[in-house]
Structure 1
Amino acid sequence: MIATNCGNASSDLPTLTADVQLDRATTTEPRSASDHKAVVVGLYGVPGSGKTVLLKQLKHELGQTHFAFYEGSEMIATVVPGGLDAFQKMKEQEKSHWRRHAIDAIGKNCADRGQVGVVAGHFMFWSEEQEAGCPVYTQNDLEIFTHILYLNIPAEVVAQRRLDDTERSRPSISTVHLSKWQQEEKTQLRHLCRYHGILFSLVSSCPTLLNKVSRLLQDFQYHNEKYNLSQAESKLDDAVVASKGQLETAWVMDADRTLAAEDSGALFWKMVSDSRPLEYERDTLKALFSGPLGHSYTAFRQAVILYEETADDQEFDALCQSVASAVTMHPEFVSLLQLVAEQRHVGAVVVTSGLRRVWDKVLEREGLSEKVKVIGGGRIADGFVVSAAVKGALVARLREAHHMYVWAFGDSPLDLDMLRKADRAVIVVGEEQTRSKTMDAALINAIDYDGLRARQAVLPSNATPRLDVTKLPIIKLTDPEYVKSLLHDRYTHGGLQVLCATDRKAAKLLATPMRDAAVAGPRLREAHRRVGWYLAIEFLADVIGLEQSPIWHVLGHQTRGYQLFHEPQTTVVALMRGGEPMALGVNDAFPLAMFVHGSDTDDIKLHHLQGQLTIVLVDSVVNTGKTIVEFVEHVRRLHATIRIVIVAGVVQAQCVSRGGLSHALARHANIHLIALRLSDTKFTGSGKTDTGNRLFNTTHLP
């Protein structure tokens, strides 16, 4: 790749295709950039793209203590007896010898001096009269270079620069040919670099080009696998320190296709390719990881560089926001992590090989970002990438350095090392058409030969399990006994949380018709319905939260509206018969919620709770709380982590202040009670005073 020109395109020159085939024959294993003693970075682009100017700017910007800068033609002049004039007169075979000698000298110089080499050179020459370009790279280039930066300057800009260059004489080349030349170089370089373990990036013309390239070179200077792991471990240690030594149990969770069915990386590149179909493919990551680099450290570093070349920080953040909006966490994990957020002795960390920024946004949307931290990369600024080895090392660190009991959750072969090193392992199994196609074989090997002991959680519940249930038993993440073991056999609770509107003016107005003996039947039902609606928007919305929902403005454009957080995943239960009117009012406020009649606890079935995040139990009057306790305990037997909210018109004060409801529900987590008013009066209605009879005009019945 170091050359002055191609000379004459004689028939004895190897073609580009022949050279690629030669390289494939002589290099059987891809190498890692981190294996080299010296970091040597190639700076490439078609003649006129600005390599020489940028090299001078970099020399001034970075200095020459830690970096060494080389112009290809100058280096050849140094090593060839007789300099450039003698080189130009040589046959191509001799030129190739001196090109190899020049790059070898650069590699040795950089290794001896501990410097990062930056080399401006050429990949091929291609005059407009030739049918194909003339490659000038050598096998030694592919062995010495650890990184290549390609100046992806618009062809029309390059053409104008060539015309304006008064320091050297260059033949006139059309913009069309320059564009064709660039595309050929980029295509071939991407292929060669991946096959030879060289990190490759396009850098585009922009006002911050010098700053961007400088930042990349500084990152290349020190980043290797050892440094990478130390950065990831430091991030983990920070999360542990933030817990102030209270953690006993840690959950380590993969993200894509574990916490959600979607793959954030695939979604990201689909969005990029849809907007720039000529530059990037939808399967960009698949092509990278299925290639010769596999899922190595170098492959993940290449992925980060691809993200860097695709968008600046602002564009990247906007893309991540769009991706996060398309990711839906499994409700089972949402409710589990909500429960973890209440625990002092249990912590959760998401360790993802995907995009940290996407998962930060997803967890923030779910209200979990304060408790659940994300360890991942995606940008140079993140400082590290997460490979399978890093995942395994972080689990080992939690156990050995921080002395924690570790649960690990994952879905693919990349997760097997961390699953094997954890105390307990759960394989998350999704739909057959979206889950990992290579996991079954890898699982069998890990179970039969590597000592993995795991269980599988099938999400959604109607998906087909992996392997057989003897080799990989099925568990349900919301089963009470399993949740107990997940939390290391103990819960910490803050007790029943009570919200009451007793002293509010709105509550006094709403309570008046409910207490008026002259009001009954439809009028009383409507009063209860209004109370249900009021308590829903005033209190329930605070307890559960709101999320944005697009609506059409009356002026004809789309604007921002709001709905209850995960409203479709909310179940409203009317405790019959007195609770029905108020429950209908709650449903009026949140029309997307499921509505269920509950005359008896058995009326609430498992399918009313599966996939749901909140259940709202609605009754008109709570005296002793016995009925409420029975319903809560029934729900908890079916689903250990779903949020339970009790909504009532009147609650007997001693029921929540001393014993009664508070005492009975103390062992249950994630429960709120919302009441229009608390009453000090101990009174159980019957006949004409019974609320149910008044609501439905049955006071005359015995």
Structure 2
Amino acid sequence: MEGVSRMSTDWENASSNTPGSMADLQLNQVTTPEIQSASDRKAVVVGLYGVPGSGKTYLLNKLKRELGQTHFAFYEGSEMIATLVPGGLDAFQSMEEQEKTNWRQNAIDAIGKKCADSRQVGVVAGHFMFWSEEQEAGRPVYTQNDLETFTHILYLDVPAEVVAQNCLDDTTRSRTPTSANHLYKWQQEEKTQLRNLCRGHGILFSLVSKSPMMESKVSIMLHDFRCHTESYNLSQAKKKLDDTVGASQGQLKTILVIDADRTLAAEDTGALFWKRVSDERPLEYEASTLNALFRSPFGHSYTDFRQAVLLYEETADDQKFDALCQDVASAVNMYPELVSLLQLVAEQKHVGAVVVTCGLRHVWDKVLDREGLSEKVKVIGGGRIADGFVVSAAVKAALVARLQETHGICVWAFGDSPLDLDMLRKADEAIVVVGKKQTRSKTMDAALKKAIDDNGLRAHQAVLPSNASPRLDTTKLPIIKLTDPEFVKSLLCDRYTHGDLQVFCAAERNAAKLLATRMRDAAVAGPDLREAHRRVGWYLANEFLAEVMGLEHCPIQHVLGHPTSGFQLFHERQTTIVALMRGGEPMAFGVSDAFPLAMFVHASDTDDIKLHHVQGQLTVILVDSVVNTGKTIVEFVQHVRKLHATIRIVVVAGVVQTQCVSEGSLNQTLARYANLRLIALRLSETKFTGSGATDTGNRLFNTTHLP
């Protein structure tokens, strides 16, 4: 405000230094205050800053008309001084600097007391520093009392050229003409110093850019500042959790509570987001990213996360923010072991999953949607004011407690960093996700050891990928594999729930009828029949596998010579096609034609499928020409499940005997497995096992004459 003088005697000594030196001194002197509870929370007082001509008074008056004065009180700093000083502003201007400082302190103290007594939110327009063009450095005009009174500061970040023109157009005030270049320098210095001072004094700070929506945005922010406390924040997070769990209608017995960044994936989406922002505006956001905000691994308080929200708010409007989040989400690669585990959980009624993230909810919504998990796996997180709350370490632990105590649900918690330790310690079962050394949390080892040795944490570690080095030692923190059948059995409480085997049949489609004709024609054999089977594999892959597994964009070169976007099977490189020899090979080649990036494996026996064929993969496609009793398919499925308990399995066949999928061993055995599908060109009522000239394998390879 106009009435803000130097902080202290130290500040008066520092005022002769350059602005950069003053900022360094400020950083060295400040400490972060303790967060107060809602009951003894001090009055909310919002500073409205900006260089002269940026429109503070205009905005203040518009807000006063829109918001009214029931819950808000609006103050012009100079007017408050005028009401306090005998003789008004004229007398104030003639005073010595120390006397001015005293009156500035009295002014902000009076505002703070008025707001505390009335329980109104104070909005105070004023100045941070004065800086004439002939001076080498600006002259700060704020006091220590300001830093103790303000809870929030909004800075009107109006282009310097606009400010310069505003000053010229304003005939109601006498101002010394100032160049746009000097105004820009003045603004940069104020923004830098204010951001640093606010960070050090627990004051929430945000830039507000000039736009047609400025007034509306500030109004929304003021409403948010008025109601948001740490207890309110927790209540909103709990409400979101209750709504999420309530959708299960009381069926949930177990729930996975999973951190997001560096747990679901190796990437840190916050770092990716700010990298993209700083690439666009390097000067503005070099020192204001989350890395600068969260200096300590144990300094992630409610206030820190609220400040992060304001940083995200000032980067972009909603449309730009959505585009940035989409860009970040496209760079995130979830660990395949967790994707397949969540796919399995999504098919259960008694087991659920929720992602609880301190990071950007909007990014993880997009990531889960891309993976086809967003309908069953919800994200609890913040990032913007509209989200209503932020997630801190304390919130994570409180949500786990609520699941246990209010909803009576067993919680398995997954996390990777010190922020997750309270959550892990509170959970019924705790799993520390350990990534590669170069990407995982650098501070977790020491914090984790302390949590185990001193605070009673009992946990396992899941090392992803499997060739990464574990944390601590495997006695203190035993290793589990997320794809191990025993782990999945314990997680699901040995209560796999699934309906009948899901079967997709193409028999009634005209294309299938034409393709089946060649396969059934006794005159077609050898290379011609192999080609017919290959075409069937290609058709089923395109018609059904693409639907079951989904598609993703891929870059291609357009025939006109420019790059464009095409499609490929979703996670095609993480797909393994298994040809069940020998009858399944031609059809499997057709599937491979459709999905050329997938791994291809020949298997005459179940042991031909090795661990490395499924490790890090998301889907196994078992291809056979004919499924009669289903015995062979059952053996292969059971073998794959022993290697990888959660991987998606799709069986592709030319013809399947109807009874074995309706009531036979295939249905009875495979219906127990979730994340499994069967695709067939046609179903046959005929119970017949071919031999000699009628055996499909013999017809495919011209061996019908053999016994």
State the alpha-carbon separation in 2 of the partners of residues 19 and 503 from structure 1: 79
Q: Secondary structure at the match of 1:128?
A: coil
Aligned-residue offset at 1:656: 1.6
Q: Select the residue among 170, 180, 188 that pairs with 1:183.
A: 188
The match for 1:515 is: 520
Q: Is the contact between residue 13 and residue 92 of structure 1 (CA under 8 Å) also seen in structure 2?
A: no
Query: Is the counterpart of residue 30 in structure 1 residue 33 in structure 2?
Result: yes
Q: Secondary structure at the match of 2:309?
A: helix
The one-letter amino acid paired with 1:410 is: G
Q: Is the contact between residue 498 and residue 674 of structure 2 (CA under 8 Å) also seen in structure 1?
A: yes
Aligned-residue offset at 1:489: 2.6
Q: Secondary structure at the match of 1:190?
A: helix
The match for 2:624 is: 619
Q: Select the residue among 352, 355, 359 that pairs with 1:354.
A: 359
The match for 1:126 is: 131
State the alpha-carbon separation in 2 of the partners of residues 304 and 73 from structure 1: 31
Structure 1: gaps (5+ residues): none
State the alpha-carbon separation in 2 of the partners of residues 257 and 527 from structure 1: 47
Q: Secondary structure at the match of 1:278?
A: helix
Q: Secondary structure at the match of 1:279?
A: helix
Aligned-residue offset at 1:501: 2.1
State the alpha-carbon separation in 2 of the partners of residues 376 and 643 from structure 1: 29
The match for 1:425 is: 430
Relative distance call for 1:358 and 1:248 in structure 2 (3 A) is: same
The match for 2:396 is: 391
Compare 643-652 and 664-673 and name the one that shifted more. Answer: 664-673
Aligned-residue offset at 1:22: 7.6
Q: Select the residue among 146, 149, 158 that pairs with 1:144.
A: 149
The match for 2:454 is: 449
Query: Is the counterpart of residue 57 in structure 1 residue 86 in structure 2?
Result: no
State the alpha-carbon separation in 2 of the partners of residues 672 and 571 from structure 1: 15
State the alpha-carbon separation in 2 of the partners of residues 441 and 292 from structure 1: 11
The match for 2:655 is: 650
Aligned-residue offset at 1:132: 0.8
Aligned-residue offset at 1:266: 0.8
Matches within 5 A, 1:326-365: 326-365=331-370
The match for 1:199 is: 204
Q: Is the contact between residue 428 and residue 459 of structure 1 (CA under 8 Å) also seen in structure 2?
A: yes
TM-score normalised by the chain length of structure 2: 0.96
Q: Select the residue among 478, 487, 490 that pairs with 2:492.
A: 487
Matches within 5 A, 1:571-586: 571-586=576-591
Matches within 5 A, 1:364-403: 364-403=369-408
Seq. identity, %: 78
What is the CA deviation profile of residues 404-457 of structure 1, one whole-angstrom value per residue up to 9, with x for unaligned ones?
000000000011111111000000000101110000010011111111110000
Q: Secondary structure at the match of 1:461?
A: coil
The match for 2:98 is: 93
Q: Is the contact between residue 26 and residue 196 of structure 2 (CA under 8 Å) also seen in structure 1?
A: no
The one-letter amino acid paired with 1:3 is: G
State the alpha-carbon separation in 2 of the partners of residues 230 and 546 from structure 1: 39
Aligned-residue offset at 1:627: 1.0
Aligned-residue offset at 1:505: 2.4
State the alpha-carbon separation in 2 of the partners of residues 351 and 25 from structure 1: 35
What is the CA deviation profile of residues 54-77 of structure 1, one whole-angstrom value per residue up to 9, with x for unaligned ones?
111111111111111111111111
State the alpha-carbon separation in 1 of the partners of residues 497 and 467 from structure 2: 32
Relative distance call for 1:20 and 1:261 in structure 2 (3 A) is: closer
Q: Secondary structure at the match of 2:282?
A: coil
State the alpha-carbon separation in 1 of the partners of residues 149 and 604 from structure 2: 77
The one-letter amino acid paired with 1:41 is: V
Compare 54-63 and 383-392 and name the one that shifted more. Answer: 54-63
Query: Is the counterpart of residue 556 in structure 1 residue 561 in structure 2?
Result: yes
State the alpha-carbon separation in 2 of the partners of residues 4 and 682 from structure 1: 92
The one-letter amino acid paired with 1:388 is: A
Aligned-residue offset at 1:512: 2.0
Q: Select the residue among 254, 271, 276 that pairs with 1:266.
A: 271
Q: Is the contact between residue 5 and residue 101 of structure 2 (CA under 8 Å) also seen in structure 1?
A: no
Relative distance call for 1:479 and 1:19 in structure 2 (3 A) is: same
What is the CA deviation profile of residues 26-73 of structure 1, one whole-angstrom value per residue up to 9, with x for unaligned ones?
754435487742000110111111111111111111111111111111
Q: Select the residue among 513, 530, 540 that pairs with 2:535.
A: 530
The match for 2:177 is: 172
State the alpha-carbon separation in 2 of the partners of residues 163 and 644 from structure 1: 72
The match for 2:2 is: 2
State the alpha-carbon separation in 2 of the partners of residues 559 and 192 from structure 1: 48
State the alpha-carbon separation in 1 of the partners of residues 101 and 412 from structure 2: 57
Q: Secondary structure at the match of 1:517?
A: coil
Relative distance call for 1:4 and 1:696 in structure 2 (3 A) is: closer
Query: Is the counterpart of residue 499 in structure 1 residue 504 in structure 2?
Result: yes
State the alpha-carbon separation in 2 of the partners of residues 484 and 546 from structure 1: 31
The match for 1:320 is: 325
Compare 519-528 and 541-550 and name the one that shifted more. Answer: 541-550
Q: Select the residue among 543, 546, 551 that pairs with 1:546.
A: 551
The match for 1:116 is: 121
Q: Secondary structure at the match of 2:514?
A: helix
Compare 501-510 and 298-307 and name the one that shifted more. Answer: 501-510
Aligned-residue offset at 1:20: 6.2
Relative distance call for 1:292 and 1:13 in structure 2 (3 A) is: farther
State the alpha-carbon separation in 2 of the partners of residues 561 and 307 from structure 1: 32
The match for 2:308 is: 303
The match for 2:52 is: 47
Compare 521-530 and 646-655 and name the one that shifted more. Answer: 646-655
Aligned-residue offset at 1:98: 1.0
Q: Select the residue among 478, 483, 497 that pairs with 1:478.
A: 483
The match for 1:676 is: 681
Query: Is the counterpart of residue 160 in structure 1 residue 160 in structure 2?
Result: no
The one-letter amino acid paired with 1:104 is: D
The one-letter amino acid paired with 2:71 is: H
Compare 365-374 and 665-674 and name the one that shifted more. Answer: 665-674
Q: Select the residue among 570, 594, 613 that pairs with 1:608.
A: 613
Aligned-residue offset at 1:495: 2.7
What is the CA deviation profile of residues 226-275 of structure 1, one whole-angstrom value per residue up to 9, with x for unaligned ones?
10000000000001111111111111010111011111111111111111
Q: Is the contact between residue 4 and residue 141 of structure 2 (CA under 8 Å) also seen in structure 1?
A: no
Compare 528-537 and 421-430 and name the one that shifted more. Answer: 528-537
Matches within 5 A, 1:453-472: 453-472=458-477
Aligned-residue offset at 1:291: 6.3
State the alpha-carbon separation in 2 of the partners of residues 504 and 43 from structure 1: 68
State the alpha-carbon separation in 2 of the partners of residues 418 and 291 from structure 1: 19
What is the CA deviation profile of residues 205-232 of structure 1, one whole-angstrom value per residue up to 9, with x for unaligned ones?
1111111111111111111101000000
State the alpha-carbon separation in 2 of the partners of residues 11 and 528 from structure 1: 87
Structure 2: gaps (5+ residues): none
Relative distance call for 1:564 and 1:601 in structure 2 (3 A) is: same
Compare 99-108 and 666-675 and name the one that shifted more. Answer: 666-675
Matches within 5 A, 1:653-668: 653-668=658-673
The one-letter amino acid paired with 1:30 is: P
State the alpha-carbon separation in 2 of the partners of residues 302 and 465 from structure 1: 34
Compare 300-309 and 670-679 and name the one that shifted more. Answer: 670-679
Equivalenced residue count is 699
Query: Is the counterpart of residue 628 in structure 1 residue 637 in structure 2?
Result: no
Compare 355-364 and 660-669 and name the one that shifted more. Answer: 660-669
Query: Is the counterpart of residue 215 in structure 1 residue 214 in structure 2?
Result: no
Aligned-residue offset at 1:344: 0.6
Aligned-residue offset at 1:682: 2.1
State the alpha-carbon separation in 2 of the partners of residues 258 and 282 from structure 1: 27
Relative distance call for 1:444 and 1:574 in structure 2 (3 A) is: same
State the alpha-carbon separation in 2 of the partners of residues 39 and 198 from structure 1: 11
Aligned-residue offset at 1:14: 3.6
Relative distance call for 1:480 and 1:288 in structure 2 (3 A) is: same
State the alpha-carbon separation in 2 of the partners of residues 26 and 413 from structure 1: 27
